A and B are shown apart, each in its own frame.
Chain A
Amino acid sequence: MEIAAIRTVGLTRRFGELTAVEDVSLSVAPGQFFGFLGPNGAGKSTTIKMLTGLLEPTAGRIEILGQSFGAASLELKRQIGVVPEGMALLGRLTAREYLRFVGRMYGLDRETTHQRTDELLDFMQLTGDGRKLVTDFSHGMQRKLAMAAAVIHGPKVLFLDEPFEGVDAIAAGMLKTMLQGMLARGATIFLTTHVLEIVERLCSHVAIISKGRLVANGPLEELRAGVVSTLPDVARDERLTLEQIFLSIVGAGGGEPAQELSWLT
């Protein structure tokens, strides 16, 4: 039996009285581009933090490449790359200094770190801004740098929390090319984003979380077929967009505003 790249069983995280993630069980096969969707505050980022070992689950089990955090946490961290929610950049470094620091922290030797740093800066078209401090970068440039830092050690599993937020079309295209290249070489990618069009284009499998609970999980086509079968007004052969699927699963009861804001012009 093939070992799942990511597997969770009964994953739960509570913050005091609030249950942010409840009983989430999912499995992502190696080489899969997995989209993890949900409305704001649904528990996506909390799940990613748990999956990357940054937050301890209250209950449940996590396995990445067949290993669980704990005894093998160091080895696991070497296998995964993360673009976290806040990007976690160090503003008072230049892009080159930052990437070299990250490479060394991941245990790469000096020569490899320097070589990969140069290649990544070239690929991300950041070489010309070598003297600029990260804090002076635009939001999109910072995203590209965060992505470069996440892949410098050649991770087998990549976790991306809103990587396309604030990124222009050119940079987004560049990032997609890079991700597809990684995928072709066998990496697994776990993506959360609100840009459903990107998920629809890139991801083969999708899971949807709402109010901390997993409400849908499977190949995109299966989800589409499932939703079509539950909607009486939709023809069986109609191809629903991911946005329609998402809204029909999550948006029911919460999609319409309670009242009109009559004072809005």
Chain B
Amino acid sequence: MADLSGQGFDLAGLGAEVTSASSRAQYAAMAGLRWHLFVNGVRSRMGIFELGARTVTFLLFAIFGLGLGAGAGMMAYLMASSGMWLFLPLILWVLFLLWQTGPVMMASMQEQFDLGILLRFPVRFSTYCVLYVVFGLVDISTILGGLGCLGIWLGISMAQPERIAWTALGLLGFAAFNVLLARAVFAWIDRWLTQRQTREVMGALFMVLLLSLQLLNPALRHKRHPAAISAQQGPAMAGDPQQARAAFMARYGDWIRPVYRTQEWTPPGLAVRAAQMEAQNRPRQALLSLGALGVWVLAAGGVLARRLRAEYRGENLSWAPNRKKPAGALAAALPVEAGWRFGGASLLIPLMEKEARALRRTLPLLWALGAPILTVLVMASLLRNNAIGSSFPFALPLYVAFALMGFTQLFSNNLGAEGAGIQLLFLTPTPIRTVFLAKNLFHALLFCLDAVLVGGLAILRMGAPQAVVVAATAAWVLFALPCCLAVGNIFSLRMPFRIHPGRIKRQRGSQANALSSMALLLAVMAVGLGIFWLGWALEAPWLAVLLLLLAAAAAIRVWLYGLHGVAALANQRRDTLLQTLMKTE
């Protein structure tokens, strides 16, 4: 028996197992299951709306994927036709990063299916692995990465038609490595996140990373003295690319060369090296590169198989009972829950404290909040070094608006992390309105913190903006925040979906919610943009501040009015809320 759960490994036996009649019947049952889930998903009006939203998302990603493929293909064509093989791995490195970070970052944008439910059936380990990998093939990042690879293959093949086969082999190996590694990364991260403590540690590390970047930023800025920068950029400014390249290599060559030689033995480097060596009539080297790439594929497959084997043999950590509490006098000496605690007697305080504790343990939400800060850091760094960036006076509102994107999930699905606890909201005598008010205030506070961080970052990287821009940005925040909170409360009650604090595999998400909240965000941004444009076009920027403040007053009024209605809407939607948020499968 070639089952990998055993000790031996028999490739022929494994092939027979994977294609055996019982395995084929199980693949068919899984395909039927997916079909029924899809058909049943559109039985309700909400389901049809959800399907429409998924179609729109698919089209958006398809456009992005085709653009990515076309861009990568064009670059590959230019590089291959001009003999610049040296730079080709760069495109593959970008694809590699997209492929590996995508599954976790985009987990909530696509439906996940926890294959753990199959373990009670007589499913072979090989069948389990095949299903796990096949499910990964329809992952958004795999589709994007695949289109990128296809583009590169077409680009190189058009530039050098005789390289079609070798390029295809190299890129196939690269794609196989990425698929297996992405699934392995996904499975390992999912395993770590099953434990509350790990989630908290990772959440804390993530926050420390963000803060470190904030501190690192001014330090780097200080280091990059204007004189040094102009000395570095001097030759490039002179307009001679050859000279600029020579100067660049003279300065950085000592560490670029060993880095490049090392990366040649990594999958992106090897995929390119195989085609490059064949182009140079060095078939042995080309074969060696393909062989080495094969070893990488096997290694990634091994890492994945190790994780899946642990799952298959029964190591689901979400079943693990809580750790033993200390007994006796020690237990009495310890507080019930060590750590911080909000003070105050208002009903809002315990509700906000609960929100803070839940957020601390929900890594997907923490990631959503932190990701815009990281992106702003990258954007600010890119813009800072070119002419547009250094003279762009609206960097502050742009970055603050971008930070708001991270909050769409919190605003528009503010009951998602409640799970079965949603029942408590209906059982306790606390008015639903107070619950929503506490959630809104807490989320608004968090956004203000995020906006201050992002704003500070923008000022540090791009310089201090005019006072009127700061005032207009603040006025826009006062307008945008209540708008998002008011509509978000309605979305939370109308289109809720459960957020599992740990298992990424169990996130179901709601495309309808995601797209609707994104549309809301765009509308709020469009209003802000329109008023900014009007103010600056009329050369009366303070008029924009005034108009935004008026809009803010109206938005706050709408938000408060909406808060009065949430209790009625929540009661009307109670059954659906309980059903949706208490689902465990």
B-binding residues in A (CB < 8 A): 15-18, 20, 41, 46, 49-50, 52-56, 70-71, 73-75, 77-78, 82, 84, 86, 88-94, 97, 100-102, 104-107, 133, 135-136
Contact = CB atoms under 8 A, between A and B. Distances in A.
Contacts, number: 100
Interface in B312-328: 313-316, 319-324
Contact of A75 (B37, B122, B123, B321): B122
B5 A92 contact: no
Q: Which 9 A-B residue pairs are closest in the complex by CB-CB distance?
A: A104-B29, A77-B122, A55-B314, A105-B121, A56-B314, A15-B320, A74-B122, A56-B313, A18-B324
Given A133-B40, A135-B583, A88 B25 contact: no
B223 interface: no
Interface string B103-126: 000000000000001111111100
A15 B195 CA distance: 12
B585 interface: yes
Pick the most buried of B32, B33, B123, B579: most chain A CB atoms within 10 A of its CB. B33
B320 A107 contact: no
Interface in B45-65: none
Nearest to B197: A16
B40 A92 contact: yes
B36 A106 contact: no
A82 to B, nearest CB: 6
B585 A20 contact: no
Contacts of A54: 119-120, 314, 316
Pick the most buried of B43, B117, B120, B315: most chain A CB atoms within 10 A of its CB. B120
Contact of B33 (A52, A86, A101, A135): A101
Contacts of A84: 120
A101 B120 contact: no
A17 B322 CA distance: 10
Given A52-B120, A89-B585, 15 more contacts: A41-B321, A49-B314, A49-B319, A55-B319, A56-B314, A71-B1, A71-B6, A75-B122, A90-B33, A90-B37, A92-B41, A101-B33, A102-B121, A104-B28, A104-B29
Nearest to A88: B117
A101 B583 contact: no
Contacts of A78: 122
A56 B313 CA distance: 6
Interface of B: 1, 5-6, 22, 25-26, 28-29, 32-33, 36-37, 40-41, 43, 117-124, 313-316, 319-324, 579, 583-585
24 contacts: A15-B321, A17-B324, A20-B321, A46-B319, A49-B314, A50-B314, A53-B120, A55-B316, A56-B313, A70-B5, A74-B123, A77-B121, A77-B122, A78-B122, A86-B584, A88-B120, A88-B585, A89-B585, A92-B36, A93-B33, A94-B36, A104-B29, A105-B29, A105-B118
A65 to B, nearest CB: 14
Nearest to B322: A18
A161 to B, nearest CB: 12
A163 to B, nearest CB: 15
Contacts of B123: 74, 105
Given A88-B117, A104-B25, A105-B29, A53 B314 contact: yes
Pick the most buried of B43, B122, B323: most chain A CB atoms within 10 A of its CB. B122
B271 to A, nearest CB: 38
Contacts of A56: 313-315
B585 A90 contact: yes
Given A54-B314, A104-B28, A105-B29, A16 B320 contact: yes
B321 to A, nearest CB: 6
Pick the most buried of B6, B28, B124, B319: most chain A CB atoms within 10 A of its CB. B319
A62 to B, nearest CB: 11
Contacts of B579: 135-136
B517 to A, nearest CB: 23
Contacts of A107: 22, 25, 122
Contact of B32 (A15, A75, A101): A101
A91 B120 contact: no
A257 B1 CA distance: 56
Nearest to B324: A18
A64 B349 CA distance: 54
Given A17-B323, A18-B323, A105-B118, A93 B124 contact: no
A94 B32 CA distance: 13
Contacts of A101: 29, 32-33, 36
A102 B29 CA distance: 8
